[in-house]
Amino acid sequence: MKVSARLVGTYLFLFTYIFFQFFRSAYVALMAKTDEDEDIPPFPDTLQDFEYYFNEERKLRHLETDEPFNFVVKPDNPKFNQKRYEALGNIITEHVYKLLEDRHLKKINIPVEADPDEPTCFFYMSEDALDKEKLLILIHGNGVVRAGQWARRLIINDCLDSGTQLPFIDWGIKEGYGVIVANTNYNTANDTKDGEEIMGSRSPEEHMKTVWQSFVQKSKASYIGIVAHSYGGVVTLDLAIDHIDEFRDRVFAVALTDSVHSFSHQYADDSVIDFYRQRGKNWASSLDVLDTDLDSHSDFCPTVSAGTEKHEYTSYSSMKSIFKFMSEKYQEMKKAAEGEETKTSVKESLEEKTDTEGTRSQEESEANDTEKINSVTKGKEEISMSKDILKADVSGEKSSTEKGKDVEVPMSQSEEDILDIEVSVTDNEGNEEIPMSQDFSSSQTDVDMNSQDPDGKQKEEL
């Protein structure tokens, strides 16, 4: 097929025009962004320089006017307003870190054995967290929030209590928990968008696995409770799938707030689903009254209302219900564990008693055998003496007969049998042990050799 030169020229012109327009648009946008950024001065890096503070109600207020935070400073420059808000957000992050440290939580770097030139990140942990019997783990959602925060917008526009994890931390410490505060969104060097990825924390899921494997697994905690918000529910489910045996043995409760996890998309098997059915609960955003049961839409985790339709507010609005849930689940698992310990203790006690009784029975059996042997030996001696006496009596009777009548009376067969009869002593199982001569009792009939009738026949004396 022949293609005319005119058609080729048309296609070439169109391609050139489109490429030029695309390049021109990109260039104009880049120059506009550069000019706009040049018009934005650097922002302060402290809360005071920003002219804001947190009052006694822990609400952000302006130092001079005592007014809440005002987002729109320049109505004609929305980019400036957004940049200012982000700069304040970075200051809030550092402020919350300080509040964690004021509660004696330590900053822990990961990876643990990083090289000096290797980028690291950190999370927070109470001083004795790894030595406590109970451990509370807090996991925030995705985005700009960092350790100790639920929602930056609430911290700035509402208060510290609703926007941070501080009330949960305070409750945990009061209840005797060790506390771990994850920092799952810290994934690159210096926490910058274009920074080098941090090994062991390249994603929220990897960050939590590193914390679990390097610290939680090695802790003394027998009872672990987890509270996770939004994407933190995805992170928690991912962790449960990889460590379901440990979750069944040590995690007594998983409290989720408006979680976006998915059992099907995350390929959770029946063992994980069963765990969530028994020990999990999700407080979802809803206009229904707090703790009202909700349709979980094929989600196997029990779901109730958080008492608010605001996603970011669900952790704070359901806080007291979560505390109650955690306490109840902890008691359930503790009682179950104590029941198992009691069964084990009773079993060991019975085994020890059985061993002791077995030893005692063996000793008693040996003593009975010794006593039996002694008795048999004594019986044999008595029978031997009886035989001697009987022989002597028979001899005496014979001598007397010879003197009186000069008639020799032979020993009867029964007398010979009496002297020669032997019996056997058997044990309890019927096994022959020691042969011995038969004992004679007063109930046996003796033959009086001196008592005869006139015809010379023997007379029995009853």
> For 401, phi and psi rounded to 5 degrees?
-65, -40
Q: CB under 8 Å to 398, separation ≥6 — which residues?
A: 408, 409, 411
Q: Are 302 and 282 in contact (CB under 8 A)?
A: yes
Look-up of token digits 């690291």: 120
Catalytic pick among 126, 230, 259, 305: 230
Mapping DSSP onto H, E and C, the string for 48-105 reads CCCCEEECCCCCEEECCCCCCCCCCCCCCCHHHHHHHHHHHHHHHHHHHHHHHHHCCE
CA distance 304 to 281: 7
Does residue 3 sit in helix, strand or coil? coil
Strands 177-181 and 121-126: antiparallel
Q: How far is the C-alpha of 265 from the C-alpha of 388, rounded, in Å? A: 103
State how far the Cα of 453 lies from the Cα of 456, in Å rounded to an integer: 5
- 230 catalytic? Reply is yes
Helix and strand counts by DSSP (H, E) for the chain: 12, 12
Cβ atoms of 256 and 228 closer than 8 Å = yes
Six-digit token string for 262: 């998915």
Write out the catalytic residue numbers. 230
